[in-house]
Amino acid sequence: MNVRTKTEVAEETRHREPLTRDRIIETALRVMDDEGLEAVTMRRIGRELGVEAMSLYNHVEDKDDILEGVTERAMNEFEFPASTGDWAEDARAMAREWRRLLGLHPSVCQLLAERHKPLEGVATYRAMDSALGVLRRAGLSDRDAAQAFNALGGYILGFVMMEQGLMLGNDDEHARQHDLALEALQGSGLVNVMACFPHFTDCTTDQQFDFGLDLMIRGIRGRGRGSVDGDR
């Protein structure tokens, strides 16, 4: 008697499910999260779904179409923080949520950084609309709100990308690497680097993120006070 394991049954059931665009996008996102952007190929996605790669073209145009869908799927996982009525606190909450979301899907950072066109689909703009509303409530003109949005987005995106490597952090491995670098710089004459370098691992990544975010909030607050209503 051939007794199949639960895993084999589940795998067979998964392969029998109808092939859809949603399943393709979901599978691509999972592969990307687990193994990185380079692992996302038509052949790999087909293998994961138990179909030939050519079958995917009945539901998507090409790999770029899949990556577009992956970006949209990830962006739609944004969880809108409840408004506090304080624009600064709301801005902090939204920034932290973006950091959380991009941390879950680090390869999406690369996709966003390499984009040469705006995002597609109304759903992907809902978080942007909310963020722009917060910035306008801060007293920024429409032009300044757009620029502040780009500045905040660039900060969050860059921070998450640095967070994935050894640029940021205060765990044992980060501390060890910083100690090695500091030792190599002894006698270099780089007075400012030598004075500040030990402090790069003094605080957690959360503290570092909030420090930078506070600097930006202060800048927005100052800019908001000087906004001219006629610029709206």
Segment holding 177, helix H or strand E = helix 172-184
Spacing of C-alpha 4 from chain mean position: 40
Q: What is the CATH number of the domain that holds 224?
A: 1.10.357.10
- Say how many domains are in the chain: 2
Residue 194 lies in a domain: no
Task: Identify the three-state secondary structure at position 78.
Answer: coil
Do 227 and 159 lie in a common domain?
yes
Q: Could you report the per-residue pLDDT of 26-76, keeping only the tens digit for each?
A: 999 999 999 999 999 999 999 999 999 999 999 999 999 999 999 999 999
Q: What is the CATH number of the domain that holds 32?
A: 1.10.10.60
Do 24 and 103 lie in a common domain?
no
pLDDT classification of 9: cutoffs 50, 70, 90: very low
Q: Could you report the per-residue pLDDT of 91-113, keeping only the tens digit for each?
A: 999 999 999 999 999 999 989 88
Do 96 and 64 lie in a common domain?
no
Do 22 and 101 lie in a common domain?
no
Do 212 and 116 lie in a common domain?
yes
Do 45 and 109 lie in a common domain?
no
Do 19 and 65 lie in a common domain?
yes
Do 223 and 138 lie in a common domain?
yes
Do 49 and 128 lie in a common domain?
no
Q: Could you report the per-residue pLDDT of 141-198, keeping only the tens digit for each?
A: 999 999 999 999 999 999 998 888 756 666 777 778 878 888 888 888 999 998 988 8
Do 223 and 151 lie in a common domain?
yes
Q: What does the H/E/C string look like for 105-172?
A: CHHHHHHHHCCCCCCCCHHHHHHHHHHHHHHHHCCCCHHHHHHHHHHHHHHHHHHHHHHCCCCCCCCH
Specify the pLDDT at position 232: 40
Range of the domain at 132: 87-169+204-231
Specify the pLDDT at position 204: 84
Residue 197 lies in a domain: no
> Taking a C-beta distance cutoff of 8 angstroms, is the pair 178, 203 a contact?
no
Specify the pLDDT at position 123: 76
Last residue in a domain, options 26, 47, 75: 75
Long-range contacts of residues 46-55, Cβ cutoff 8 Å, at least 24 apart: 49/14, 49/15, 49/19, 49/23, 49/24, 50/11, 50/14, 50/15, 51/15, 51/19, 55/19
pTM beyond 0.85, yes or no: no
